[in-house]
């Protein structure tokens, strides 16, 4: 799984070390074109990118590797790796970013 190559082809900039070391099934916060982005590498080695801004009130979600979800520290909203809502109060999915 050549994560670095996928990140470069996706025009990810200032990628942090954690992202380069992503293993299938892991996620991390990276920088995409100067903006914070959530990256998740699936079991097939495909990269999924979402905007980490919570759609409830704008806090920054964090990756939960145990449940493979993006969790918001402010009011507990949870999103899957594609940004779909798993738990409210958020009602709208996270914005998907194109990185492939």
By CB under 6 A, residue 85 contacts ligand FES: no
**In sequence order, which ranges of 1-100 are alpha helices (DSSP H)?**
3-9, 17-20
CB of 88 to ligand FES, least distance (A): 8
Considering only the stretches 14-22, 32-40, 43-51, 67-75, report the one whose residues sit in contact with ligand FES under the rule CB under 6 A.
67-75
Whether the bond into 89 is cis, omega within 30 of 0: yes
SS3 55: coil
Matching residue, tokens 């899957």: 80
Q: Per the structure block, which two tokens stand in for 77?
A: 């909203």
15 near ligand FES (CB under 6 A): no
Decide whether 4 or 74 has the Cβ nearer to ligand FES: 74
Tell me if residue 19 falls in helix, strand or coil: helix
Residue 94 within binding range of ligand FES, rule CB under 6 A: no
Q: Is 78 in the site for ligand FES (CB under 6 A)?
A: no
Site residues for ligand FES per CB under 6 A: 54, 56-59, 72, 74-77, 89-90
């Amino acid at each position: 799984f050549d994560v670095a190559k996928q990140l470069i082809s996706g025009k990810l900039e200032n990628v942090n070390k954690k992202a380069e070391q992503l293993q299938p099934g892991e996620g991390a916060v990276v920088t995409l074109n100067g903006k914070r982005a959530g990256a998740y590498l699936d079991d097939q080695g495909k990269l999924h990118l979402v905007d980490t801004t919570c759609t409830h009130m704008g806090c920054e979600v964090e990756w939960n590797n145990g449940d493979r979800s993006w969790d918001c520290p402010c009011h507990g909203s949870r999103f899957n790796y594609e940004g779909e809502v798993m738990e409210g109060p958020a009602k709208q999915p996270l914005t998907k970013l194109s990185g492939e």
